[in-house]
A and B are shown apart, each in its own frame.
Chain A
Amino acid sequence: MTMSEGDLAVTELHFVRGEMVAQQPPPASMRGPMAWVRENLLSTPFNIVMTILIALLFIWAVPEVVKFLFVDAVWTGADRDACREVVQHREIGACWPFVWERLPYFTYGSYPIPERWRVDVFFLLLAVGIGWLLWLNAPRRDLGAGYFFVVLPIASFILLHGFPLIGLPVVDTNLWGGVLVTIVVSAVGIVFSLPIGIVLALGRRSNMPAVKLFSVIFIEFVRGVPLITVLFMASVMLPLFVPEELSPDKLLRALVGIAMFAAAYMAEVVRAGLQAIPKGQFEGAMAVGLSYWQMMRLIVLPQALKITIPNIVNTYIGLFKDTTLVFIVGIFDLLKTIEVARIDPKWATPVTSTTGYAVAAIFYLIFCYGMSRYARATEARLAKAEKR
């Protein structure tokens, strides 16, 4: 469109810009760290108050923790005098020499010193098995499952308990302790709870009334009572139920209790997974003529277990924390060894308890947090696979 002289007055009123203005940066108040602070920390009066309160909490708590764990901590020493304010004439934080000295006890309990290499080998075998299963792109994961659920339990029993025929003397379970027992109890719970839980979940969804009834009774009974009472039952009632000469040893009784307890919770997790499988999958499997077990093994369980992985791992986290309860029926797990060591007169100081508990807390925090990160990563991976 062209403009003539006579239109000039009109065009001045209707000015249209010909070229674009260069893009302006957002105003200074809307960008940069200051804007972030205003947006995220100081958006309303209430938020300002909350920010100040939380900041004060951090300013108070973080230096206290750092001071206790590092600045005021004692790093070397031979006995409790190194960690006593009266002797050292200064403020005392964590008493690390106590932990250094008791570290073998926290790890192996009273396991005989010349035999402790067996425990190390067990830890190594277990780490290999866990790594194989958790690494989703690992080669031959089917072999890995066989290794973890069949080879590893047998090998660990031979290694830890002993097998005199091949020159491994028997080590009584009373001598086991520390991290070893914590790991053994949780590993047994993990290995046994899944298969038993799957069977119970299938039983609960079965069409046979008797099978369904027994599964429901078992699951609801175990889930309705505290783990402590299950452990008490296993440790004081199990010996009554078997002939005297077959009476199982203390650790085995606790293991039975833990496995039963974990299986009932696992059954509910697996059942939720089974319920999420569309009916068409069952009907399709039956239509092509698969038997019940073929249908479950080839069609339903692979799908159900896959979507349940995050919940299974969460159950394992709970199980791992719950293993501390075996302490109450007199088994020397990590927490019990710390309880015993912290009241030992050689190291008894006001800070010993806190130091010991801090070590245990860090141990459980690392393992449980690691597991929950794994569960979350798997969940994200599954969600990505679902989105097509």
Chain B
Amino acid sequence: MSIDLPAGDRPAKVAFYNDPKVRSVAYQVALCIVIGVLVYGAASNAIDNLEKAHIASGFGFWHNTAGFDISQTLISYSNLSTYGRAFWVGLLNTLLVAGLGIVFATILGFVVGIARLSTNFLVSKAATGYVETIRNIPLLLQLLFWYNAVLKALPSLRESIVIPGGIFLNNRGLFLPAPIFKNGFLFVLIAFVIGVVVSVGFSVWARKRQERTGQQAPVFLTTLALVVGLPAIVLVAAGVPLEFAYPEAGRFNITGGLEVVPEFAALLFGLSIYTAAFIAEVVRAGITSVSRGQTEAAYSLGLLPGPTLRLVVVPQAMRVIIPPLTSQYLNLLKNSSLAVAIGYPDLVQVFTGTVLNQTGQALEVVAITMAVYLSISLFTSLAMNIYNSRFALVER
């Protein structure tokens, strides 16, 4: 049965204010107007308030002399340097602690995550206890604990703990022997680079040969020999062009050597231990997401437990693990801003803390700081999206 509509008959025309398209445009225009008014109001108030408080605006302060000292600097810096230089010092300190934190948190997180799935009752319960405790205590509290209750409670300079090998540990930090590279050390570096390049080439060749003929090559041993053995031989052949500057304990100070300030150690400890608990959960979820049938199928093909894990389970689990793992790395980077609570000179402490207090230019300083974190976050999400679109499981 069909209904014959008279030709040219259209549904009754709706009033224009009931037309969804008109409404949608009207809503959006209204929203834009509201946001525009808010932004305009905020901006004009800000200009008013800044004029009243006689605060300069603009980024001219970037080239002014900072006039304050920073306890840990990776690039040369003194109190005569500019605010711009202080910014770079802070940013590098942030990246240093975040980079090392990511390495340690990943190692610890993978160990704990795999331990939680262990068949060993004691091991899995210990890992569960670690994750549940650490995840449920605020990071800031953990940082304060490490800094004030552990590192600051170490013995004073006079009663330093001396670890054989010229290492001193006291409440001013950890003092390690600093390596001094002499002339011939360049050859060792060159040998190392050659070793890395050759071992990459060897593993590519080995994989191609295995795909072609099925024969396996000892990739791990060859890589070890090339990356560790070759530089070691060159080091000995060049007459060990390496010395250590040992820290020396004076009456009031320890001179020489490599100094690790307690603020840095506390932040690194706290961040790694806290983030590792979250990474452990990510790893556990990833491994349990690979169905048991995959393992059983691998066993029935005759693979041993080791190769099964390496060739079947881990590659599939990584697909699930990597996206949340990246967001944990970003969290670690953002959490490193808690340095301000224990006085480690990271970007927030140096820039949003000291520079903001000295210049009073809140708008510019907070905007620059936010822009740094924002661009790192957005860049990482972009990279993540590309990764996901390349490695996502293609289903039929």
Contact = CB atoms under 8 A, between A and B. Distances in A.
A372 B41 CA distance: 43
Interface string A21-50: 000000000000000000111010001001
Nearest to B50: A240
A54 B126 contact: yes
A210 B36 CA distance: 12
B24 to A, nearest CB: 5
A279 B139 CA distance: 40
Nearest to A369: B136
Interface in A225-270: 225-229, 232-233, 236-237, 239-244
Contacts, number: 154
Given A50-B123, A51-B123, A229-B373, A364 B138 contact: yes
Nearest to B375: A224
Contacts of B103: none
B141 interface: yes
Contacts of A240: 45-46, 49-50, 362-363
A328 B340 CA distance: 8
B366 A237 contact: yes
A160 interface: no
A4 interface: no
A109 to B, nearest CB: 18
B119 interface: yes
Interface stretch (A80-88, A129-137, A167-175, A316-324): A316-324
Given A229-B373, A237-B362, A322-B138, A50 B120 contact: yes
B378 A372 contact: no
Contact of A40 (B121, B370, B378): B121
A232 B347 CA distance: 13
A151 B362 CA distance: 37
Interface in B105-144: 118-123, 126, 132-133, 135-141, 144
Contact of B366 (A227, A236, A335, A369): A236
Contact of B137 (A224, A225, A364): A364
B304 to A, nearest CB: 14
Contact of A317 (B31, B121, B136): B136
A244 B378 CA distance: 35
B123 A226 contact: no
B149 A353 contact: yes
Interface stretch (B8-16, B286-294, B318-326, B331-339): B331-339
A365 interface: yes
Contacts of B123: 47, 50-51, 54
Interface in A284-309: none
B383 interface: no
A176 B24 CA distance: 46
Contacts of A364: 136-138, 141
B122 A51 contact: yes
A227 B341 CA distance: 13
A55 interface: yes
B145 interface: yes
Interface stretch (A6-14, A120-128, A354-362, A377-385): A354-362
Nearest to A236: B362
B337 A208 contact: no
Contacts of B132: 369, 372
A360 B334 contact: no
Contacts of B41: 241
Contacts of B72: none
B52 interface: yes
Contact of B31 (A57, A211, A223, A229): A211
Contact of B144 (A47, A210, A241, A335): A335
B133 to A, nearest CB: 7
Contact of B377 (A224, A228, A322): A224
A210 B32 contact: yes
A229 B366 contact: yes
A233 B148 contact: no
Contacts of B122: 40-41, 50-51, 54-55
Given A207-B24, A214-B35, A226-B335, A335 B141 contact: yes
A327 interface: yes
Contact of A226 (B141, B348, B356): B348
B41 to A, nearest CB: 8
B213 to A, nearest CB: 34
Contacts of B153: 350, 353
The 7 residue pairs across chains A and B that have the minimum distance between CB atoms: A224-B377, A368-B136, A210-B28, A241-B42, A226-B334, A40-B121, A321-B138
Given A51-B120, A210-B32, A327-B341, 17 more contacts: A47-B119, A51-B122, A224-B373, A224-B377, A225-B370, A232-B352, A237-B363, A241-B46, A321-B136, A325-B338, A339-B144, A353-B149, A353-B153, A357-B141, A357-B144, A357-B149, A365-B137
26 contacts: A47-B118, A50-B118, A51-B123, A57-B126, A208-B27, A210-B32, A211-B28, A211-B31, A214-B35, A226-B335, A226-B337, A228-B338, A228-B352, A229-B373, A232-B369, A233-B366, A240-B49, A241-B42, A321-B136, A325-B140, A350-B153, A353-B149, A357-B144, A361-B141, A364-B136, A365-B133
Interface of B: 24, 27-28, 31-32, 35, 41-42, 45-46, 48-50, 52, 118-123, 126, 132-133, 135-141, 144-145, 148-149, 153, 334-335, 337-338, 340-341, 348, 352, 356, 362-363, 366, 369-370, 373-374, 377-378
